[in-house]
Amino acid sequence: MEYLQSSLTKEAGGRVAINLEYFYEQLRVNLAKAQFSVSQRILSQQITDLLALREAWSEVERAEAAIPNPKLGSLMVRTESPASPGVADWEG
């Protein structure tokens, strides 16, 4: 989490970067709480929150993939490699 948080650029990312920084900070705080109190409930919530963030980033990727790239003169399409499921290849 610290790496993700330190890679945020608030000047370029604006409100999104600020919100992500807060999100990462809350994850860190809640992880410490879960460790000290041995709380399965807190850990389950952490997993749920991280999966929601992952889905949000997936939606961003899908939206970006649908935007025409004028430099390539075609539509960028993201596909998964059949040899490596979950590994994305970009085709234009």
Distance in angstroms (rounded) separating the CA atoms of residues 92 and 78: 9
- 39-64 pLDDT per residue, tens: 889 899 989 998 998 998 899 888 88
| Within a domain: 49 | yes
- Nearest 5 degrees, angle CA 84-CA 24-CA 4? 50
| Within a domain: 7 | yes
pLDDT of residue 84: 46
- Nearest 5 degrees, angle CA 4-CA 2-CA 7? 35
Number of domains the chain contains: 1
- 2-11 pLDDT per residue, tens: 666 666 777 7
Tokens of 86: 């979950």
Q: Going by C-beta distance under 8 Å and a sequence separation of 6 or more, which residues neighbour residue 45?
A: 30
Distance in angstroms (rounded) separating the CA atoms of residues 56 and 11: 21
Greater model confidence, 74 or 56: 56
| Within a domain: 17 | yes
| Within a domain: 53 | yes
Share of the chain above pLDDT 90, in %: 8
Decide: 61 and 54 in contact? Cβ < 8 Å: no
In this prediction, residue 81 has a pLDDT band, given cuts at 50, 70 and 90, of very low
In this prediction, residue 82 has a pLDDT band, given cuts at 50, 70 and 90, of low
The domain of 42 spans 2-67
| Within a domain: 74 | no
| Within a domain: 59 | yes
User: Across residues 56-83, what is the average pLDDT?
Assistant: 69
| Within a domain: 33 | yes
